[in-house]
Amino acid sequence: MGSSRKRLLRLLVPATTVATTVVVSTVVTPVLSANAATSDHGAGRARSVIFINGDGMSAAHREAARLSLAGLDGQLTMDKLPVSGQLSTSPHDPKTAITDSAAAATAWATGTKTYNGAISVDVKGKPLPILGRQAKAAGKSTGLVTTSQVTDASPAAWFSQTADRAAQDEIARQYLAVSKPDVILGGGEDWWLPAGTPGAWPDKPAEDPSEASKGTKGNLIDRAKRSGYQYVSSAKELAHAKRGKLLGLFSNEEMFQQRPEGQGDVYSPAVDLATMTQKALDTLSTNKKGFFLFVEEEGVDEFAHENNGARVLQAMKSLEKAVKVARSYVAAHPDTLLVVTGDHDCGGLTVEDPIDTDESGSDLSTEDGPFPVHGSNLKFVMDWTTTEHTGADVPVTAQGPLSTLFTGKHPNTYVHEVLSRVLTSRH
């Protein structure tokens, strides 16, 4: 499930989980087998990883974006990566076979499947070793970039451990006290400040009066500054930020307003994903030991929950621009592994011809469009079957050392198996 605050209320934590937050101060590094080298069939040695998540993105979202942005004979940059495969996404949750973002990201970051709502803890609530901390222990720089709250489920799983994804202020606290990512860029300033203490983003903005500072861990922005982070809250400030530890929060909550089409839906981030990605790469790349960067476009998932095709296409365009930035970096730094995938499908989307007699949905879950095919007089529609997640596989594309390991079909925990070969190495 996406990061919408309205959906967090529906998350159920298993009865076996007795604590809402768990912090572990030790770092556990997995023992790799003798053949777990970081070279890839003569293609060089991997030093850094850029992992890009189109939250809620499966094959149909990529195809709709391809038609919209590149046309019938065109190709998205994310699909030009030379290696492709599939990932299954099911969690280990006693109540459902369909994952949310927390369980999916935990599978990536820890190699362990867990229940929906869990942030890098197992099905009994026990904290698991996480790649974000292991990369730091190996001497690498780390960072996260997202259009959601920086403390939302997908980024959180790489850098924190808690039994409940809703504890976003605790996740922020762990970032500063435990995992210490070098770059943190995205939304969610409300979780870093106590209730009644608005920051750069005022409480109760006109576009969503429900948004307001709500943290319970003190003024974490001030704490970040004392810990050596530069704090920025606008595109101009980000552009002028110096290299070094960087915290940028560019909205109260998500960096958009996720609603059905024409009901106050807005996709216009204060800083676009590509710009944040470029800034993060500029900062992290100064470490000669390499880095790990997690990049996420949350709007795909949130607007798919609303069956809002027009905004999904906008979010996909944003994601595509960020992938272009990452691919350009990899071209100049071939010791970097680039991976692009989604954590799960959202919306049960199909891409169809605009034929009125083919409509099978009702209410929200109906045909959306038509949308023009780029460079053509043809059109297509986006037909939704649900406002929730589905169990469909997600495509994964990759480039760089170790990328060929993503060929074929694998469980989502396989991401951890591949990335750990790079991120836990101290070479």
Residue 31 pLDDT > 60, yes or no? no
**Preceding amide of 395 cis, omega within 30:** no
Of 395, 357, 355, 351, the residue nearest 373 (C-alpha): 351
Q: How far is Cα 257 from Cα 4, in angstroms, rounded to an integer? A: 10
217-239 pLDDT, tens digit per residue, is: 999 999 999 999 999 999 999 99
Q: 2 Cβ partners below 8 Å, 6+ apart? A: 55, 56, 101, 148, 258, 298, 301, 302, 305, 346
State the CATH architecture for 48-381+414-423.
3-Layer(aba) Sandwich (3.40)
Decide if 402 contacts 45 (C-beta within 8 A): no
- Alpha carbon 265 to its chain centroid, in Å, reads 21
Tokens of 170: 């605790």
Tokens of 380: 């297509």
pLDDT value at residue 151: 98
What is the rounded average pLDDT of the residues 32-52? Answer: 61
66-100 pLDDT, tens digit per residue, is: 999 999 999 999 999 999 999 999 999 999 999 99
What is the edge-to-edge ordering of all strands in the sheet holding 336-341? 230-232, 246-249, 183-187, 141-149, 291-297, 48-54, 336-341, 394-399, 83-88, 408-411
Tokens of 175: 């970032």
What is the rounded average pLDDT of the residues 120-144? Answer: 98
pLDDT value at residue 5: 39
What is the rounded average pLDDT of the residues 34-56? Answer: 70
Of 154, 144, 91, the residue nearest 300 (C-alpha): 154
pLDDT value at residue 28: 34
343-378 pLDDT, tens digit per residue, is: 999 999 999 998 876 655 555 557 899 999 999 999
pLDDT value at residue 11: 36
**pLDDT classification of 278: cutoffs 50, 70, 90:** very high
Q: What is the mean pLDDT of the chain?
A: 90
Q: How far is Cα 138 from Cα 128, in angstroms, rounded to an integer? A: 17
Residue 262 pLDDT > 90, yes or no? no
Residue 208 pLDDT > 70, yes or no? yes
pTM of the model: 0.90
Residue 2 pLDDT > 90, yes or no? no
pLDDT value at residue 52: 98
pLDDT value at residue 367: 83
Decide if 161 contacts 311 (C-beta within 8 A): no
Decide if 183 contacts 249 (C-beta within 8 A): no
What is the rounded average pLDDT of the residues 263-285? Answer: 96
Q: Where are the alpha helices (DSSP H) in 116-187?
A: 131-137, 153-159, 168-174
What are the domain boundaries of the chain? 48-381+414-423
With a pLDDT cut of 90, the percent of the chain lying above it is 84
Q: Is 404 exposed, middle or buried (0-12, 13-18, 19+ CB in 10 A)?
A: middle
pLDDT value at residue 7: 40
Q: How far is Cα 403 from Cα 425, in angstroms, rounded to an integer? A: 17
